Amino acid sequence: MFPVARAAQRLVARGIQHTAVRGAHGKHEPTFHDKYGTIVLLGGAGMFAAVWTYVFTTLKIEWGISPVGRVTPSEWRE
C-alpha cells in the first residue's frame, strides 16, 4: 500500500474511534424531540385531519362529476 493511502486510512480509523469513544462517554439527555416528538406528530396529524374534514364538509363538493348525459351539443352552423 502506498504511504499516503496508509496514512489516510489510519487517519480515518482514528477519527471513527474518536467519535465512538466520545459518544460512549456522554450522558444522553432527552431533547425536545425525545420528549415531545410523538405528541407533536399526533397533534399535527389531528389538526391536518380536522382542517380537511371541515373543508370537505363545508364546500359541498360533488364527487365524480361527469358531463356525459348532461351536456348536449349545439346544432352545427355552416
pLDDT of residue 9: 78
pLDDT of residue 27: 65
pLDDT of residue 23: 59
pLDDT of residue 50: 96
pLDDT of residue 39: 94
Which class is 10-58 in CATH? few secondary structures
Question: CA 2 to CA 62: how far, in whole Å?
Answer: 73
Q: pLDDT tens-digit profile of 7-57? A: 777 777 777 777 766 656 666 788 888 889 999 999 999 999 999 999 888
Q: pLDDT tens-digit profile of 8-18? A: 777 777 777 77
Going 10 to 11 to 15 to 18, the CA torsion angle's sign is positive
